[in-house]
Amino acid sequence: MPAELSPIEKAKFAAAKRASDMVESGMKVGLGTGSTAAWMVRCLGERVRREGLKIRGVPTSTRTAELAREVGIEVIALDEAGWLDLTIDGADEFDAELNLIKGGGGALLQEKIVATASDRMVVIADPAKEVAHLGAFPLPIEVIPFGWKTTRNLVEEMLEGMDVLGREVGLRMSGEAPYRTDEGNHILDLHLMRIGNPRQLALVLNQIPGVVENGLFIDICDTVVIGHGDGRVELRDVTEGTLEEGRVEFGESENLFRDV
């Protein structure tokens, strides 16, 4: 492993490597988006090359699709797959009940659709993503461009009645222009600091005209794999109430690091 790889990247790799071992030949797998999910896609690609693993992947963004094809994973659309055995994705935050904030990478809509079309969702993360209460990470919501300022005003008005500490709502930018999702929509980032009732907020947000989807993933994630910089991994299953601990050896996957 290159010496310049940070402890956080090592932790992301450890989680991704452990989760990739859950995938079996013949599976249809949802492939998440983001830096941790990219490690997972590379790990699966290595298994395809080394072991002849035969899977079909449903990516949650164009950049994940490009990476999957690059590492030799067969890519199919969700409509072709119909239903998935497993989705593996990262998260910006997760709490003790494995409720999540996702969408920092701008792919929350496809990520939520793919995750809910799966028998099981596994989240891969480093320890910094675990929080006592969701909300320190800005909550993304995807909105259609038409009338987005009106949508923002409605969101701000709604937040007055919610159990949150902050109410700042900002339009995500990409340079000088508004950020565009794969569907051509905008993203509003809600700086809430602390969300007292994530379930209620998720339901109310999606009732606002112009909101396509929000980045709160409630009762969707089944398992979280937490990686550490020294190779330790923790696997928590919320449905089984179990905790499994193990270790990933970095030296076994040096081909992966040559590509980074």
Annotated active-site positions, please?
Answer: 111
> For residue 191, what are the CA distances in angstroms to 34, 88, 132, 159, 172?
20, 26, 17, 11, 12
Residue type, 165: L
Q: Does 215 count as an annotated binding residue?
A: no
Q: How far apart are CA 167 and CA 222, in angstroms?
A: 30
Q: Does 28 count as an annotated binding residue?
A: no
**In three state form, how does the secondary structure of 6-68 look?**
CHHHHHHHHHHHHHHCCCCCCCEEEECCCHHHHHHHHHHHHHHHHHCCCCEEEECCHHHHHHH
Q: Does 90 count as an annotated binding residue?
A: yes
Q: How far apart are CA 38 and CA 12, in angstroms?
A: 9
Q: Does 230 count as an annotated binding residue?
A: no
Q: Does 105 count as an annotated binding residue?
A: yes
Q: Does 33 count as an annotated binding residue?
A: yes
Hey, what are 25's tokens?
């030949």
Q: Does 61 count as an annotated binding residue?
A: no
Q: Does 242 count as an annotated binding residue?
A: no
Q: Does 68 count as an annotated binding residue?
A: no
Burial label for 54, CB within 10 Å (0-12, 13-18, 19+), is exposed
Q: Does 6 count as an annotated binding residue?
A: no
Binding-site residues from annotation: 33-36, 89-92, 102-105, 129
Binding-site residues from annotation for substrate: 33-36, 89-92, 102-105, 129
